[in-house]
């Protein structure tokens, strides 16, 4: 029986140690079953009441703490499992009862020192337990600045996009806004910035998957919806104005769907790696015409007719639409035009666009 307890204890300690390494230390996308199970359970506890509401603002308030609570509960789960694992090892080595073994393991792990025994063969286990508790807590504390630094860098660009195009962002509205203020020729700067942003998000959100569920400070903003809007704007620009400079636009579009696919790989979301350009998309031709009408109202000049541009737009969008829609559904992003369905039936929020107040010339 003591041998079985020892094996179980070693497996628990080793497994949780592996989970800590995969989550906090190894700087590359690695999957920890324990971490994922804890965080999924916590998010489910928040998602269940959120699904009872149809208001995007109310759902955002309910879901906002979920990711932070998931991080805290992961730490609690690690410490609890370490204590159980060391308790099993101590029971196996010394023959202590379950209560006494857990008491000594907890006293050692949290360096409280209120429980000790006269068994010399427990010393090595006590020392290991005493090191494990502070190291795990220290690693978690060190993990938070990297996590929140990546979050702040992500949200800076999302906020800038709101100032430029409105919120929630929408692909046609981006081009319409740039045309409205007469800076459409400088839109390449936007796409260059979002190419780099996509690369940073790809790196941070695959290394720290919990970032996917960190919500924006405002209910009508969301990193995924912003990314989808920029990609749609790029696809529209390529389809409507083929003679304009394409390097920045195409690189931003490619960086966007590569980012989405890498996040999908980490989350185990299946997708077609080589979709047919002639395949169907959820955005209909009528939706496409509505977007073009919005752009034309603000003075956007297109080289192609809608009939000529539609096949190209559809061919670009099919590369990222399915993955973006699935992620938007999973994280319950703010409902926005051309961003797919949500977990509950919600009205699409029409973008709130900033209005320029220009001085009137006086005679």
**pLDDT category, 49, cuts 50, 70, 90?**
very high
Select from 157, 152, 175, 190 the least CA-distant residue to 353. Answer: 175
pLDDT at 17: 92
Cα-based distances in Å from 288 to 53, 160, 166, 311: 30, 25, 19, 11
Structural domain that includes position 272 = 166-331
Tokens at 361, concatenated: 């010339």
- The answer as to whether 281 is a domain residue is yes
Taking the CA of residue 98 as centre, how many other CA atoms within 13 Å lie in the half-sphere pointing to its CB?
3
- The answer as to whether 148 is a domain residue is no
pLDDT score of 42 more than 90 = yes
How large is the average pLDDT for residues 328-340? 91
**pLDDT category, 110, cuts 50, 70, 90?**
confident
Q: Under 8 Å CB-to-CB from 262, ≥6 apart: which residues?
A: 29, 202, 206
- 253 sits in which H/E element: helix 247-267
Please say which residue of 141, 157, 181 terminates a domain: 141
How large is the average pLDDT for residues 119-127? 74
**pLDDT category, 258, cuts 50, 70, 90?**
very high
pLDDT score of 256 more than 90 = yes
How large is the average pLDDT for residues 124-138? 86
pLDDT at 97: 76
Q: What total of structural domains would you count in the chain? A: 2
- The answer as to whether 156 is a domain residue is no
Residues 180 and 263 in one domain: yes
- The answer as to whether 285 is a domain residue is yes
Please say which residue of 141, 176, 199 terminates a domain: 141
Residues 188 and 78 in one domain: no
Residues 171 and 281 in one domain: yes
Q: Which of 37-41, 118-122, 191-195 has the lowest mean pLDDT?
A: 118-122
- The answer as to whether 336 is a domain residue is no
pLDDT score of 352 more than 80 = no
pLDDT score of 36 more than 80 = yes
Residues 265 and 307 in one domain: yes
pLDDT score of 112 more than 80 = no
Residues 134 and 225 in one domain: no
Residues 285 and 322 in one domain: yes
Residues 317 and 193 in one domain: yes
- The answer as to whether 178 is a domain residue is yes
- The answer as to whether 354 is a domain residue is no
Residues 243 and 324 in one domain: yes
The answer to whether the CB of 198 falls within 8 A of the CB of 224 is no
Please say which residue of 91, 125, 141 terminates a domain: 141
pLDDT score of 355 more than 60 = no
- The answer as to whether 147 is a domain residue is no
């Amino acid at each position: 029986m003591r041998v079985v307890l020892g094996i179980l204890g070693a497996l628990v300690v080793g497994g949780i140690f592996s989970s800590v390494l995969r989550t906090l230390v190894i700087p590359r996308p690695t999957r920890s079953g324990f971490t994922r199970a804890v965080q999924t359970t916590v998010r489910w506890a928040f998602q269940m009441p959120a699904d009872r509401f149809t208001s995007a603002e109310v759902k955002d308030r309910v879901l906002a703490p979920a990711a932070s609570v998931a991080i805290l509960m992961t730490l609690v789960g690690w410490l609890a499992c370490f204590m159980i694992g060391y308790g099993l090892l101590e029971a196996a080595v010394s023959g202590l009862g379950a209560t006494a073994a857990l008491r000594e393991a907890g006293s050692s792990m949290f360096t409280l020192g209120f429980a000790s025994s006269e068994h010399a063969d427990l010393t090595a286990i006590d020392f290991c337990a005493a090191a494990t508790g502070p190291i795990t807590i220290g690693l978690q504390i060190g993990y938070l600045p990297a996590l929140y630094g990546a979050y702040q860098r992500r949200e800076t660009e999302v906020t800038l996009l709101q100032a430029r195009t409105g919120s929630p962002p929408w692909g046609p509205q981006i081009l319409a806004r740039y045309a409205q203020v007469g800076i459409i020729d400088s839109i390449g700067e936007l796409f260059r910035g979002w190419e780099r942003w996509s690369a940073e998000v790809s790196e941070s959100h695959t290394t720290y998957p919990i970032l996917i569920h960190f919500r924006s400070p405002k209910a009508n903003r969301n990193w995924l919806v912003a990314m989808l809007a920029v990609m749609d704007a790029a696809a529209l620009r390529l389809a409507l104005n083929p003679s304009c400079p394409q390097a920045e636009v195409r690189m931003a579009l490619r960086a966007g769907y590569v980012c989405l696919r890498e996040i999908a790989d980490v989350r185990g979301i299946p997708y077609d790696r080589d979709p047919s350009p002639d395949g169907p998309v959820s955005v209909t031709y009528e939706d496409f015409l509505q977007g073009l009408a919005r752009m034309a109202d603000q003075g956007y000049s297109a080289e192609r007719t809608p009939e000529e541009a539609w096949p190209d737009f559809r061919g670009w969008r099919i590369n990222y639409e399915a993955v973006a829609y699935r992620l938007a559904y999973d994280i319950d992003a703010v409902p926005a035009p051309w961003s797919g369905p949500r977990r509950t039936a919600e009205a699409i929020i029409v973008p709130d666009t900033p209005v320029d107040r220009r001085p009137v010339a006086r005679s």
